Chain A
Amino acid sequence: MTEPVVRHFGPKAYADHPPFSYPDYRSTVKRSPTHAPITIVETLSESTGPGPIWSEMAEEDSDLTTNSGTGEAALGERIIVTGRVLDESGNGVPGTLLEIWQANASGRYVHWRETAFPAPLDPNFIGVGQCRTDGAGVYRFTTIKPGAYPWGNHPNAWRPAHIHFSVLGSALGTRLVTQMYFQGDPLLPLDPIYNSAPAHSRERMIAHYDHEVTTDHWALGWRWDIVLRGELATPADEDEA
């Protein structure tokens, strides 16, 4: 084939995502566009994207309890986080890269800007990792359950425990950065970032405890699926199914 296929991934379901400006999260007010985005047709520039090549270049680094390079294990509650990356039709997205970053068990990030929170660093925990989904779209990380951490948005503001996830998907428009939260966290109803997502969709960011994933004498299991915009399947694939 010499002529490229322009796949269509749209539309982005804005109703499922947070608004650009959400005053309860103060920093959004000056960092949100005031004009509505201009809707354009999808061309090859939009239907392609960095996902395939960038995922191919990445090295697997999926165990955050041991990847500090010190040879020692990180402190905290060891957990397994696993699930599938799916398109909107429920097809697994294979071979796509997930990059994650998080606080340690005490709620402290390994970042030079984090100076306000006097929680201890763990020399054996760097808080970053990455892995690729397998052929069925399944990913799996081993890490430490992050602690809650305070921030300056409002008095006595604490972020619920969360892990940042970055996914590229297969096209420009499938780009997703989100945060995974933990079922039952009492800070969730108080958190403006979590609550910026509409009520009908925000629970999609919550991982659920899964005893089938829990490994005896080793780690507690959490399950969380990620749904990217669009459908991967081509019409031909659907016929075969």
Chain B
Amino acid sequence: MSDKLGQTPSQTVGPYFSMRLGGPGQNVVSSPDGAGERIVITGRVLDGDRNHIEDALVETWQANPLGRYNHPDDTRDLDLDPGFIGFARATSDFETGTFRIETVKPGRVPDIEGDFQAPHISVIVQARGMLNPVFTRIYFSDEEVANDDDLILRQVPPNRRQTLVARAVEGTDPTEYVFDLKFQGEDETVFFDF
């Protein structure tokens, strides 16, 4: 269509977004009695000098443990626990740049080739000093076989794939996965456009 409207430009969330976004409890994806394996995702948000970013907003979106999204377009006949939200918002800690999401391990969702994707969580990151959001994905270190077959991961150069894999911390219960977000440098996190 030639008479399309132009998109409204993005602007930074600035230093004060936490007045409205990312309040207490918003970093919890599912109610405590919900189905699925409970997990925790933590990580640090780091700038080009590897200083922590003290005012980042990390938003996550994921399927439930059966691989169903809490969205009207996902019309598949799979149970959807009413306590499952699927969305979380976390703010990075002012002193350490660490964020924390309490969630359940997502199931596998279809790709567009009739196969299933490896379990993953979609991530949107914004901060003061960022004029646009960036999009990435969290994969899991204990899903090696599924990761190797994943349609999206296979589009990432092999030497950068590890930036998308959260590492399980041994001996944690619920299992804690560490996923750092790095904006620059040799192991800069892979960001996606779609």
Interface residues of chain A, those whose CB is within 8 Å of chain B, are 1-7, 10-13, 16-20, 22, 25, 27-35, 37-50, 52-54, 57, 86-90, 99-101, 109-111, 113-114, 126-128, 130, 164, 166, 172-173, 175-179, 193-194, 196-198, 200-202, 204-205, 226-229
Contacts and interface: CB of A to CB of B under 8 A. Distances in A.
Contacts of A10: 193-194
Interface string B75-110: 111000000011100000000000000000000011
Chain B contact residues, majority secondary structure: loop
Chain A contact residues, majority secondary structure: loop
Contacts of B155: 38, 40
Contact of A33 (B61, B151, B184): B184
A2 B192 CA distance: 28
A205 B75 CA distance: 36
Contact of A27 (B20, B73, B128): B128
The 4 closest A-B pairs by CB, nearest first: A27-B129, A50-B87, A48-B71, A197-B9
A101 B20 contact: yes
A218 B152 CA distance: 54
Nearest to A100: B20
B192 A5 contact: no
Given A27-B129, A35-B188, 6 more contacts: A7-B73, A30-B183, A40-B155, A113-B15, A204-B7, A227-B7
A18 B11 CA distance: 8
Interface residues of B, number: 71
Interface string B127-160: 1111111110100000000000001100110000
B70 A53 contact: yes
B130 A28 contact: yes
Nearest to B54: A113
Contacts of B8: 176, 178, 201, 204-205, 226-228
Contacts, number: 251
A38 B133 contact: no
Interface in B141-194: 151-152, 155-156, 183-184, 188-194
Given A34-B188, A35-B188, A44-B69, A17 B129 contact: no
A31 B189 CA distance: 12
B183 A13 contact: no
A226 B183 CA distance: 29
Interface of B: 1, 4-21, 47-49, 51, 53, 59, 61, 63, 69-77, 85-87, 109-112, 117, 120, 122, 124, 126-135, 137, 151-152, 155-156, 183-184, 188-194
Nearest to B10: A17
A22 B12 CA distance: 12
A37 to B, nearest CB: 4
A68 B85 CA distance: 28
Contact of A227 (B5, B12, B15, B110): B5
Given A166-B21, A196-B131, A48 B74 contact: yes
B47 A44 contact: no
Contact of B9 (A32, A173, A201): A201
Given A17-B9, A166-B20, A3 B87 contact: no
B96 to A, nearest CB: 16
